[in-house]
Amino acid sequence: MPLPRIAPTSRHRAGRWRGAALAAALWCGNCRAEPPPTPVPDAAGNYLRNAGFEEAGERVPAGWTLESRVTHKGGVSRVATAEKRGSFALRLAPNEKNAELVHPLAVGQGFAIGPFRGRRLRLEAELRAEGDATAVVGLYAVRADGKITEGLRLAQNAAPSPQRHEGVFAVPDDEESLVLVLSCAAEGTSGAATFDDVFVGEDASDKAALKGARAGAALTAEVNVDASRAIRVIPRTLYGANIEWIYDGYGLWDADKQELRPELGDLARELGVTLLRFPGGVFSDFYHWKDGVGPQDSRRQTPHHPGGPKSRHSFGTEEALSIAGSAGGSLLITVNAGTGTAEEAADWVRYVNAAAGESAKTRPAPRRRVDYWEVGNELYGKGGVADRVTLKPEAYADRFREFAHAMREADTTIKIGAIGGENFGAYKMNGYPDWNAIVLARTGGHLDFLAIHNAYAPLVTIDRGYDARTVYAAMLAAPKLIAGNLQTVSQQIDRYAGQRAPQISIAVTEWGPWFHADPDARFVDHVKTLASALFAASTLKVFIESPRVEVANFFKLVDNAFLGWIGLRDGRYVPKAPYYALQMYTQHFGSVLVHSTCTGPTYDSQPVGVVDGVRDVSYLEVVASLSGDEETLYVLAINKHFEAAIAAGLRIDGFAPLPQAIAWTLTGTAIDANTGTQLPQIPGLKWGRQTAAQPEARFQLGGPGEVELVATPVDAAAAEFTYVFPPHSVTSLQLRRAR
């Protein structure tokens, strides 16, 4: 995945919010310089006029506004309905001109925000969609320049009958937001979206009930573990990360002291990270490894990519080998298959092998040999920086064979991987739909693993106005889609790779929570939240349970912006929440996967970003393992529910536990809790105001104690017992075998 460029020029991208232009136009009343009206509720407490669309108007229902710039994008009408109270509903029928993401066919109402600052409003609507249209109702807070600061978005895809949707919007308490806008929009280029009984009023939900759900076990589940059914030895190489050469390795190299930062080496070792991918993402295909070796004072400064910023090569191969060694792991190296040569890659193999030999001769040190070598990075991409080096699958397959031949002449025992990936739904990383089939068919006899990037989420690169909870729910549903895609890729290997297919594994060499790359975006810094940690834990479970996945490298270990799982707080490096999710597996989980099942409550998620809508997402997920000596059974549970604890009845076969056990639990004060890491202050760059997960938001209160990994004793473990898993948590029950 290309690294976003952090620069002032990346601010204020068009399309930050879908429908933002509509909001601006509604506020000014289709270019009438009038202040927004002060809202007055009706007898039912609804602040909207003609919310049931019973009263006709000249072009649209009375009280509603149609932006002039979208009139050509479809039809607006009132249609008779007998399915709800009243006789009419609003129908929006988009046409082929409605493909633009920023200005969909929509009508709306706007009114002054003043009376509602800091309060909670309930949004409800009856939605129906036909064909490929999506019905969207949204409530947005808007600035003077027409940009939206916060929003709540409810959506409905095609359904045979109207569906009731509702949500709660926490109105921002700031001087920047000046007007509230209610929008009914149709997305898509055909079909129709129907709206009825739209409501915007005071939220009367009982907060005490919410707190009660936190304190008690409002939900139940059943967990079965069969410790006698071993599935596979869990590869330690699943616990890998990405590091990059640019900007002194994003802080791994201390330029002032001319040494590696020991505190980052300590944090990497405590994390238990096993396989560090280097030199990092899109920059791999512009990286020439000889620039990063030799005496520090003789190393060059080069662009990260053509026309991009520059860095001095202070963090090169030796430094990467050292940081991997200090963490107790090794490297996975991505060779430059974009602008480099096969001989250059082979020389890199020889250099690393020589360095490993010298290290072993001179001192007792961690093994420095590199076993895993990846040929290129995302050369199938057609967007962003990756577009500067793009290959068709036939050309890449030819280049891969050339590289593999040269590299194996240098070392016959290394594992070499080709790049690939199969798009699924809205997740479209690969610009060539037949890439996997062609590459596998032409290289299957030469490769050891297929490297894919199928597990970023939610990637809300176009902000459509969703509230944080909706975005989080979609992100936490994504692992279900990732699991299906891994199965698809595995089947493609079997189908196309020939006789060597059984020996070819899958490496997910980039993955992780990622919300937005624009510094001005309201979700850009949400990688650090507890929600992202739950996504990381759930995705790691998918990797562990996918039999062909041998390698996984999260993106990324550290940086000075928003993607690193280690960040800066008051000038000191500290872990972010996802760091602890990985640590649950490296320190509080076993080495042999065993059979487990979990049945319990589920939810349905909306399509958000690159994540399609998912049905029947389990709130509670469980994965189980044994220690190598089979004396400890680990039951790791992920509770994705934002408020409710889940009381799970556990039944364990094939293992008799002692009553005394330990529960390691990762949780926090709220779903958007974080450890308080801070975005860097760069002259000329203004970070966007970050949204929060209402109603009990903690995002702005990040700091020590907001996210914790703690151990508590368990005194009643047995072959059958009940354990209450807290809301928004990851828990590892460590059970010792009774003798």
CATH number of the domain to which 340 belongs: 3.20.20.80
Strand 240-242 and strand 275-278: the pairing is parallel
Quote the pLDDT of residue 240.
Answer: 98
The three-class DSSP label of residue 264 is helix
Whether residues 516 and 396 fall in one domain: yes
b/e for 312-337, b at 16 or more Cβ within 10 A? bbbbbbbbbbbbbbbbebbbbbbbbb
**Residue 334: closest CA among 310, 370, 298, 291:** 370
As a whole number of Å, the CA-based R_g of the chain is 27
Has residue 340 been placed in a domain? yes
Cis before 160 (ω within 30): no
- Given a contact cutoff of 8 angstroms between Cβ atoms, the answer to whether 234 and 634 are in contact is no
CA 719, 724, 725 angle in degrees (round to 5)? Answer: 110
The pair of three-digit structure tokens given for residue 312, joined into one six-digit string: 């001095």
- Other CB atoms within 10 Å distance of the CB of residue 364: 6
Burial of residue 420 (CB within 10 Å: 0-12, 13-18, 19+) is buried
Report the distance separating Cα 337 and Cα 404, nearest Å: 11
Report the distance separating Cα 239 and Cα 275, nearest Å: 7
Residue with tokens 């059984």: 502
Sign of the alpha-carbon dihedral angle for 257, 260, 262, 267: positive
Residues of the chain with pLDDT under 50: 1-33, 206-217, 359-367, 386-387
DSSP state string for 417-459: EEE----BTTB---S-TTHHHHHHHHHTTT-SEEEE--EEEE-
Has residue 386 been placed in a domain? yes
Whether residues 245 and 200 fall in one domain: no
The pair of three-digit structure tokens given for residue 275, joined into one six-digit string: 């396989």
Q: Calculate the CA 411 to chain-centre distance.
A: 37
Has residue 733 been placed in a domain? no
> What is the per-residue pLDDT across 210-261, written as a single tens digit (0 to 9) for each?
333 344 446 999 999 999 999 999 999 999 999 999 999 999 999 999 999 9
Whether residues 186 and 248 fall in one domain: no
Whole-angstrom distance between the N-terminal and C-terminal Cα of the chain? 50
Strands annotated E in 584-631? 592-599, 602-605, 614-618, 620-626
Whether residues 307 and 415 fall in one domain: yes
Whether residues 287 and 366 fall in one domain: yes
- Given a contact cutoff of 8 angstroms between Cβ atoms, the answer to whether 113 and 179 are in contact is yes
CB proximity list for 400: less than 8 A, separation 6 or greater: 337, 375, 376, 418, 439, 443, 446, 447
Has residue 121 been placed in a domain? yes
The secondary structure of residue 362, as a DSSP letter, is H
| Cα dihedral 51/53/56/58 (nearest 10) | 80
Has residue 726 been placed in a domain? no
Report the distance separating Cα 688 and Cα 684, nearest Å: 13
Report the distance separating Cα 262 and Cα 246, nearest Å: 19
Report the distance separating Cα 183 and Cα 199, nearest Å: 12
The secondary structure of residue 350, as a DSSP letter, is H
Report the distance separating Cα 617 and Cα 140, nearest Å: 28
Report the distance separating Cα 392 and Cα 439, nearest Å: 10
**Residue 511: closest CA among 241, 331, 107, 698:** 241
The full 3-state SS of 583-595, as one line of letters, equals: HHHHHCCCCEEEE
657 φ, ψ to 5°?
-85, 150
DSSP state string for 531-570: HHHHHHHHHHHHHHH-TTEEEEEES-SB-SSSS-SEEEET
Q: Give the domain extent around 28.
A: 8-205
Largest CA-CA distance found in the chain, in angstroms, rounded: 87
State the DSSP H helix or E strand holding residue 129, giving kind and residue range, or none if neither: strand 120-130
- Given a contact cutoff of 8 angstroms between Cβ atoms, the answer to whether 296 and 262 are in contact is no
Whether residues 320 and 197 fall in one domain: no
Quote the pLDDT of residue 168.
Answer: 83
Report the distance separating Cα 502 and Cα 448, nearest Å: 10
Report the distance separating Cα 366 and Cα 356, nearest Å: 9
Whether residues 38 and 168 fall in one domain: yes
Quote the pLDDT of residue 101.
Answer: 63
**Residue 522: closest CA among 243, 99, 254, 147:** 147
Report the distance separating Cα 189 and Cα 441, nearest Å: 37
Report the distance separating Cα 565 and Cα 582, nearest Å: 10
Whether residues 142 and 233 fall in one domain: no
Report the distance separating Cα 403 and Cα 20, nearest Å: 49
CB proximity list for 90: less than 8 A, separation 6 or greater: 53, 61, 64, 76, 77, 78, 79, 107, 184, 194, 195, 196
Burial of residue 384 (CB within 10 Å: 0-12, 13-18, 19+) is middle
**Residue 608: closest CA among 425, 437, 445:** 425
Whether residues 236 and 195 fall in one domain: no
Whether residues 27 and 153 fall in one domain: yes
Report the distance separating Cα 157 and Cα 187, nearest Å: 10
Whether residues 324 and 454 fall in one domain: yes
Quote the pLDDT of residue 147.
Answer: 77
Give me the residues paired with residue 192 across strands.
130
The total domain count for the chain is: 2
Quote the pLDDT of residue 30.
Answer: 40
Counting every residue written for the chain, the total comes to 739
For residue 76, what is the domain's CATH number?
2.60.120.260
Q: Helical H runs in 70-180?
A: none
The pair of three-digit structure tokens given for residue 664, joined into one six-digit string: 């390691």
Has residue 725 been placed in a domain? no
- Given a contact cutoff of 8 angstroms between Cβ atoms, the answer to whether 683 and 642 are in contact is no
Has residue 210 been placed in a domain? no
327 φ, ψ to 5°?
-85, -5
The secondary structure of residue 205, as a DSSP letter, is -
Quote the pLDDT of residue 94.
Answer: 95
- Given a contact cutoff of 8 angstroms between Cβ atoms, the answer to whether 539 and 511 are in contact is yes
Has residue 2 been placed in a domain? no
Whether residues 120 and 240 fall in one domain: no
- Given a contact cutoff of 8 angstroms between Cβ atoms, the answer to whether 175 and 716 are in contact is no
